Amino acid sequence: MTEWLKNAVFYEIYPQSFADSNADGIGDIQGIIEHLDYIRELGCNAVWLNPCFASPFLDAGYDVSDYKRVAPRYGTNADLKRLFDEVHKRGMHIMLDLVPGHTSWEHPWFKESLKPEKNPYSGRYVWTNNTWKDLTGVGHVSGSLRGLSDRNGSVGTNFYSHQPCLNYGFYEIDEPDWQQPVDSEDALATREAIKDVMRFWLQMGCDGFRVDMAGSLVKNDPDQEGTIALWQDFRKFLDEEFPEAAMISEWGQPDRSLRSGFHMDFMLHFGPSHYTALYHEDDPYFSRKGTGDAKAFIDYYKMCYEPTNGKGMICVPSGNHDMVRLSRYLDDEEIKIVFAFLLSLPGAPFIYYGDELGMRYLDSVVSVEGGYPRTGSRSPMQWDDSLNAGFSQAKAEELYIPIDPDADRPTVKKALEDKASVYHTVKELIRIRQCTPVLQSEAKIEFVFCEDHAYPLAYRRTDGKNSVLVLINPSQKASGFSYEGSLGAVLYQNGGGLKLEEGKLTVSPATAVFIKEETVR
């Protein structure tokens, strides 16, 4: 594994909403540079920057129109290079968001592919050979477009209709008159074009990529074997040219993504993970009501953990730009216990900007740039009590998304002044993680107690020599389980503490504890 990932704690920046340095109402690269010290002081040593490339912004930048040019609203390529340099000066690393599955329909590649005359880009996207033939039911294609030009065919799309999907070939070919194999000239040309994009930014100083929809590239690929082989080829390219480049996948299946050559895989909030049952549903496990259930998530986590060979290369985020915020369902005290959980798991933790403040999900905002319900999690960072909470000097109506209108909204200024804030809890938890190797990415995890609709949650982090027991009881009742062993020094405690009597370990209500184990029987 790339060495710096072993103790990485990531901070996700949504560039539109982080800090506006030129008063146009939209966050920018200079604004990020001006707040790097804040991120470093929190304890994060790595940054994940959401897409910042040229785009018509119908999907907030996930619809790229030029992979090699920073969107003018954020700055220039020179500004991004300076961001890389400033990050590195602080001993930190930065990953860009790579979107290899589709482009905007404004991308020059797509405009060329629309032409009826054969050209080098005719096969860059997934096209049928007849306008009346759509792509309904084709694996890893969400829809299709037709009638956009004089070309006789329909083109496949990913997610939104303005995102035509790039052609990496078909693993299973049902209709050979238009479906191309993964080793076709066109599919290989797409692959090389994306390698060239990666090469461009890595040479400039980027430390790696978080890859959007990584498991979806090859079409009609039910077991994803074609996509796995594709990424193994990318891994070979990186090992030869950029061996230190880090790769993290948005896949949600570590058994596949790690085999593909990714260093880590995201635990997705959709699909079979049950991740949202922890703190993003109406009856979350981390609520003090004590009626939630973590068992289904832990069972899925253990299944995903198995193929990591004890390395724990699974990323569990506090949230992200596609999820409602923690505060939608939990209050500050409950969120503190969530962070005790997140920051004691293997893999690299990811903190979504503002979650360390308890920033709120805004229910009432109108969709911006394809955000729809997600827009409420993308509101501007709240720095202080000045104009627009310190995010921008623009008029309120010019802001990318409105600021939380509550006068009592959380801000960095308030959080820094309040020693009992979520911010200070997160900072302390990161400090403890970083000075305790057994709590970092690669030490093993063993679940000691996790039952259906039961509290507490207990797991052990161990490297074979040292062992720390993590005890999480978000509920309002003391809860315990049978435990044979002896306990040592407490590394972290938030709440009422523990009691070990006659083979039963009881955890106080609303409590999280990290404690060394002297012996384990």
- Domain harbouring 461, CATH code: 2.60.40.1180
Give the strands of the sheet with 457-462, arranged side by side.
444-449, 457-462, 467-473, 511-520, 485-494
Side chain identity, residue 166: L
Judge contact between 355 and 305, C-beta under 8 A. Answer: no
Q: Take residue 448 and report the two structure tokens written for it.
A: 């000691």
- Counting residues of the chain whose pLDDT is more than 70, the rounded percentage is 99
Q: For the packed helices 185-204 and 225-241, what is the interaxial angle rounded to 10 degrees?
A: 40
Query: Residue 176: its pLDDT value, please?
Result: 96
Give DSSP secondary structure letters for 248-304.
EES-S-HHHHTTTT-SEEE--SSSTT-THHHHSSSS-TTSTT-----HHHHHHHHHH
Q: How far apart are CA 157 and CA 104, in angstroms?
A: 10
Inside any domain, residue 177: no
94 shares a domain with 28: yes
460 shares a domain with 354: no
Between the alpha carbon of residue 274 and those of residues 295, 301, 314, 339, the distances in Å are: 9, 9, 15, 18
Judge contact between 321 and 14, C-beta under 8 A. Answer: yes
314 shares a domain with 266: yes
Look at residue 10 and tell me whether its pLDDT is greater than 80: yes
User: How many domains is the chain partitioned into structurally?
Assistant: 3
Exposed, middle or buried by CB within 10 Å (0-12, 13-18, 19+), for 398? middle
Question: 33: Cβ–Cβ under 8 A, 6 or more apart, which residues?
Answer: 82, 83, 86
Inside any domain, residue 183: no
459 shares a domain with 341: no
- State the residue range of the domain holding 459: 442-520
| Average per-residue pLDDT for the chain | 96
Span 192-237, pLDDT tens digits: 999 999 999 999 999 999 999 999 999 999 999 999 999 999 999 9
362 shares a domain with 275: yes
Q: Which of 383, 408, 434 is the last residue of a domain?
A: 434
Residue 1 — very low, low, confident or very high, per pLDDT cuts 50/70/90?
Answer: low
471 shares a domain with 382: no
Inside any domain, residue 85: yes
411 shares a domain with 276: yes
Any idea what the CATH number is for the domain that residue 207 is in? Answer: 3.20.20.80
442-453 as b/e: b if 16+ CB within 10 A: bbbbeebbbeee
Inside any domain, residue 30: yes
Please compute the mean of the pLDDT values over residues 464-475 and round it to a whole number.
96
Half-sphere exposure (CA, 13 Å, Cβ side) for 183? 2
Please compute the mean of the pLDDT values over residues 83-98 and round it to a whole number.
98
Span 369-415, pLDDT tens digits: 999 999 999 999 999 999 999 999 999 999 999 999 999 999 999 99
Q: Which of 410, 434, 458 is the last residue of a domain?
A: 434
401 shares a domain with 328: yes
Any idea what the CATH number is for the domain that residue 147 is in? Answer: 3.90.400.10
137-170 as b/e: b if 16+ CB within 10 A: ebbbbbbbbbeeeebebbbbbbbbebbbbbbbbb
449 shares a domain with 380: no
282 shares a domain with 420: yes
454 shares a domain with 415: no
Inside any domain, residue 323: yes
Inside any domain, residue 515: yes
78 shares a domain with 58: yes
Inside any domain, residue 182: no
- Counting residues of the chain whose pLDDT is more than 90, the rounded percentage is 91
Q: Which of 407, 434, 461 is the last residue of a domain?
A: 434
